[in-house]
Structure 1
Amino acid sequence: MSLTFSEIAHAHKDFIQHTLQTFEDQLHPSADEDAELVTRAMFSIRNQAIKPPHYSTFSQILVCQIQDVNTAEVTINFPQKQISCSCPKTELCRHQLATILKLSQYFISLQQWLSNWRSKKSIPLHSLAAARSPENWQRMADEVLNYAVKGPQPIEPYALSALNESIRSKIQRHRPYEQEWQELYQLFMDIAILKHFLLHAVKTKTDMEHHYFQFFLENTLSRIQRSIDALSKTTRLFATEPFYDALQQSVRDILFIEKGAKSFRLTLYLQFWTKLFDEKKRITNELIILEQSSDIETDLDLDVVLAIFYILLGSTSPLERVTEILDEDNVESFIEVAQYALHKGYVDEAAIILKKALPLLQTFVQDNLLPIRRQKFIRKLDKLYGQISLTEEEELGLYASFGRYGIESFSNYLLRHNRFDQWVALHQLYKSSIPYLEQCGLKDVVAQSPEIALPLYHYYAMEEIQQKSRQNYKQAVRIWRAMKNASKKAGKLDYFTSYIEAVQQQFKRLRALQEEMNKSNLLG
């Protein structure tokens, strides 16, 4: 016997109420498309377009057919808490909403729900979009954001990206038709959404280091960078100037947020000021504002930001002054500034920062930087310092600060200076593997000074033998083949022959190893 809508609704009341609340949060009464969707859903209920339910008490799956232009089939899997529809729409559709409202009417008044939802309507978004101004664009963003992000509760990090996309989709419906305005509109709205989320995160003490939050920030930054790159290559309309002024203010507000995502905020700020805001007057005015902002409470060092503008304006003396306060807490931020300076061609200014940072790197890398970040950060440093002139003493100090995480970088340095014996000594001190040695330049060492590489081949072949498996014996033989080639280049083939004979005698009881050595014809 099939259950009625009423019986199904009361059996799954919690899920239905939760789903209705989720749908309500997604639908904005000021958006014409959402208002139309709700109206069509209510129309389906009033006109009894939802046919009697098909419900399995065993699987607890409900299937409802809704008579529309084309018949749609809504499926609710109650155990898995999933709802779907057969219509082409990939997001929330009127058929899903109609089904949930149909079930909800047994414990709420649909007319009261509709009145409450409509009462939240303010200025229609299309009206704000029609009157194009930075103020109206900001009001559009605030209207959608304040409706979607309610109360003092933190946003769950895993839901952040989905919520962001939902908000963006509502705002994108009102994007200008003119192509020259579309990229600016998207950038303006992305910054407005980002600022709102960051302020909300600070207010609700959200963990901005959570990997879901970091994923959201990375995706947002990538999208903003694409917009900045596109806008920087197009001619700027006179009518867009007020929007750029508003963006300048918003980006500064994000930079001066109280705390959290410090590196991200600085990177975002640098993107705008090294790619988009390139007028000298705008740069000078921003510097004046920054120099008057010393009383702002933020976790970002203001001197780091000032350094950006001293570089852009070619003010060497103030730059040298602000770099005097370099320490382990702000050295990473200053290095990021140096990276952007090099990107823009300010080599001398970047050199001032990087040389001031040199004495701090060892303590910062070994004590302050998380181990998981050290390898990537050192590669970045190696690339940056490779673009400026250093004395031999400064170079050695740089690689010494890297420690074991900079073996590859130091190896390349030794190869550049033909210090092959020191290269070998380095890799004898820090044991790794043959593939890593090749990554660090083993082939170059063999090509230039093959005889000094022979001890390394011996060591790693012995390491394989100690594992005592046929697969390891095969790997040892591969290493000996490479050793044989190096011996041949060094004119020491007789030495290699004596060496292999000694190894065979030493490990004569390892039958599998003897078989692999004989098959390889190492003595041929």
Structure 2
Amino acid sequence: MRSSTINDELWHKMLEQVAKTFTEVTLSRGFTYFKQQRVEDLRLTENHMIHARVTGSEDYAVTLNLDNLSSYSCTCPAPPPCKHLAAVMMELADRYGYPSSHIMNAKHHLERAEVRSSSLVWLEQLPDVDVSEWHTFLNQYTAHIKQSYDPGIYLNLLRDQLQAMRKASNPLSDIDQKFFELHQELFMVRKLKDLSAQSSVAYFTSHVLTRAYDNIHAWLSQASEHFNFTLSPERLKQTLAYLRVQMAEEKDKDYLHFRIYAALWQQEIAPQPDAGQWVTHELSDINSQSTGDAKSIGCSMVKAYLLISQSRNEEAWTALETGGALKDAPTSLLIVFLQQLAKAGNWRDLLGWLIKSAPTFNSRLNNDMNSYMNYWKMTAAHLPEAEEHWWKVLKDMLPLSSHLIEEALYEQRKWKAWIEMQIHQGHGPFYHRVSVLQPIEKEAPELLLPYYHQAIAHHVSLKNRQDYKLTVKLLKRLQKVYKKMKAVERWDLFFHDFVERHSRLRALQEEIKKGKLME
């Protein structure tokens, strides 16, 4: 039970005195003495004086004036304040129900207390300030969290701290509370980007940033089911403006804030009936920005994104081109615009974008290239004339596009060209599963003749038992093809000649007999 003598006010003053006058080493040594119970005969006199004896190799007398905490003494030879005084203050705290560990960590405890105190004041002000002030508050609220070499740990520490605040009551309206939660997510992205700017941890931060973006995307999807963010137009304008500022300042090339901007627009604004008014307002704001910000790659991408929503697709391309996005932005961002055009059904404009963006995708074999090709397929399905352009683009991308050409030929059932490509690349029949060749065998079996004949000649020329076995498998397939073509006589003539020609290859003859191709 706390004494009327040692109260909260005096306790706070004691912590301030300790933080101001003691070194960490002295406090650590004092804490050791306290834990070893070296403080004896501690007495509180009527005039608020503390008297105690601290034992050790020698005993020392300590006095402390509670009415004037800067007035103290110890009979040890060390300069004040000493470890004996620290041990006495910890013992005093413990006896009157206060955590002795707070004496040990006085500076840290006071900092935390100050943050909690100022946070309460800030929380009351949140409804009356814009989102930039929210970020100032969040920065102050998490100031005690030190950057970690491990960005995953750092993100978790930030999230734990912010989640603790979410549990506290605040005067925000329901929709403001949702915006505030969104800006907490955005705040964590910015802190991670600050950490990523340090070259020593940049590599490790990229996947954590991706995880943070995924969290925001999931949060937006869930929030949009319950809230219409356009019902708070001022907060939404502030949020969009915040993202534009972050884009203008972005130094790396992941353009994460543009991705967030696009996700916010797609989830929260585009489905609304007044989306067109928002587009007009945003374009006006971008055009009124300072020259440097308005010409940043991120802002040029935003401008292009908005122009496409108004079907001003040529202007959108120009915005990307003049803003430098086509030169420096990753291909995954171009996919965002192709997706917009496809979703709107602007196939002719999409065809133009696919043709013009081809050089950007060339030499980059990744998932973005696969997405790019899928948009070609979609366009060709709606515009037959697109196919000719598509094949030209594929040829211009050789040799990078060889597997894409192969896939396209197969999907379009251009069997002759596909088989010629297999032969040219040295891919024999065993390179593919049997099921891959079955459609050709069914629809155009005659095209398989040169493919199988060449493969048979190749395996026989290797002159080993394993290749002879493979030769027999191919002969069986070839026999099946001739039967499919109703050309059994041609098969008989070929097979008779084949056996005669290789009659000296005893192992091959044995495998042919084992395969029951002849008696």
Q: What is the TM-score with the length of structure 2 in the denominator?
A: 0.63
Relative to structure 2, which stretch is displaced further, 130-139 or 166-175?
130-139
Superposed counterparts of 1:2-401, under 5 Å: 113-121=104-112, 122-124=114-116, 127=120, 133=127, 134=131, 138-139=135-136, 141-143=138-140, 145-150=142-147, 156=149, 159-175=150-166, 186-202=181-197, 204-205=198-199, 208=202, 210=203, 212-236=204-228, 243-278=235-270, 279-293=275-289, 294-296=291-293, 300=297, 302-316=299-313, 318-319=315-316, 321-322=318-319, 329=328, 332=331, 335-342=334-341, 345-348=343-346, 351-352=348-349, 354-358=351-355, 361-362=358-359, 364-366=361-363, 369=364, 374-388=365-379, 389=383, 390-401=385-396
The answer to whether the 8 Å contact 1:270/1:340 transfers is: no
The answer to whether the 8 Å contact 1:175/1:182 transfers is: no
Letter in 2 for 1:201: S
Deviation at 1:315, TM superposition (A): 2.9
SS in 2 for 1:120: helix
Deviation at 1:423, TM superposition (A): 2.1
Match of 2:448 among 445, 449, 453: 453
Per-residue CA distance 1:388-425 (angstroms, 9 max, x = gap)? 23444312212213324434443454456653322222
Relative to structure 2, which stretch is displaced further, 220-229 or 252-261?
252-261
Aligned equivalents of 2:358, 2:487: Cα separation in 1: 43
The answer to whether the 8 Å contact 1:331/1:360 transfers is: no
Per-residue CA distance 1:145-175 (angstroms, 9 max, x = gap)? 433245xxxx64xx11222122212212333
Superposed counterparts of 1:412-491, under 5 Å: 412-415=407-410, 419-432=414-427, 434=429, 437=432, 442-460=437-455, 477-491=472-486
Residue in 2 that maps onto 1:20: none
Q: Which has the higher contact order (CA 8 A, sep 6+)?
A: 1
- Consecutive unaligned residues of structure 1, counting only runs of 5 or more, are 1-41, 50-108
Relative to structure 2, which stretch is displaced further, 472-481 or 286-295?
472-481
The answer to whether the 8 Å contact 2:307/2:315 transfers is: yes
Q: What is the Cα-based RMSD across aligned positions, in Å? A: 4.4
Letter in 2 for 1:339: L
Relative to structure 2, which stretch is displaced further, 314-323 or 188-197?
314-323
Aligned equivalents of 2:293, 2:34: Cα separation in 1: 57
Aligned equivalents of 2:182, 2:512: Cα separation in 1: 65
Letter in 1 for 2:311: G
Aligned equivalents of 2:189, 2:345: Cα separation in 1: 32
Aligned equivalents of 2:31, 2:493: Cα separation in 1: 93
Aligned equivalents of 1:487, 1:45: Cα separation in 2: 98
The answer to whether the 8 Å contact 2:338/2:350 transfers is: no
Aligned equivalents of 1:164, 1:456: Cα separation in 2: 57
Aligned equivalents of 1:113, 1:433: Cα separation in 2: 76
Aligned equivalents of 1:358, 1:439: Cα separation in 2: 36
The answer to whether the 8 Å contact 2:258/2:301 transfers is: no
SS in 2 for 1:428: helix
Deviation at 1:213, TM superposition (A): 2.9
SS in 1 for 2:438: helix
Deviation at 1:216, TM superposition (A): 1.5
How has the CA–CA distance of structure 1 residues 321 and 342 changed in structure 2, closer, same or farther, with 3 Å as cutoff?
A: closer
Deviation at 1:310, TM superposition (A): 0.6
How has the CA–CA distance of structure 1 residues 331 and 188 changed in structure 2, closer, same or farther, with 3 Å as cutoff?
A: closer
SS in 2 for 1:261: coil
The answer to whether the 8 Å contact 1:477/1:520 transfers is: yes
The structure number with the bigger radius of gyration is 2
Relative to structure 2, which stretch is displaced further, 355-364 or 381-390?
355-364
Deviation at 1:289, TM superposition (A): 2.4
Letter in 1 for 2:338: Q
Residue in 2 that maps onto 1:84: none
SS in 2 for 1:262: coil
Aligned equivalents of 1:248, 1:380: Cα separation in 2: 28
The answer to whether the 8 Å contact 1:141/1:189 transfers is: yes
Deviation at 1:387, TM superposition (A): 2.2
How has the CA–CA distance of structure 1 residues 239 and 495 changed in structure 2, closer, same or farther, with 3 Å as cutoff?
A: same
Per-residue CA distance 1:320-368 (angstroms, 9 max, x = gap)? 644665855558367324333145x2232x64355245256257513xx
Per-residue CA distance 1:95-119 (angstroms, 9 max, x = gap)? xxxxxxxxxxxxxx96665112113
Deviation at 1:378, TM superposition (A): 2.8
The answer to whether the 8 Å contact 2:287/2:294 transfers is: no
Residue in 2 that maps onto 1:100: none
Match of 1:403 among 378, 387, 398: 398
SS in 2 for 1:403: coil
Aligned equivalents of 1:487, 1:167: Cα separation in 2: 71
The answer to whether the 8 Å contact 1:451/1:490 transfers is: yes
Deviation at 1:258, TM superposition (A): 3.5
Residue in 2 that maps onto 1:3: none
The answer to whether the 8 Å contact 1:338/1:354 transfers is: no
The answer to whether the 8 Å contact 2:472/2:511 transfers is: yes
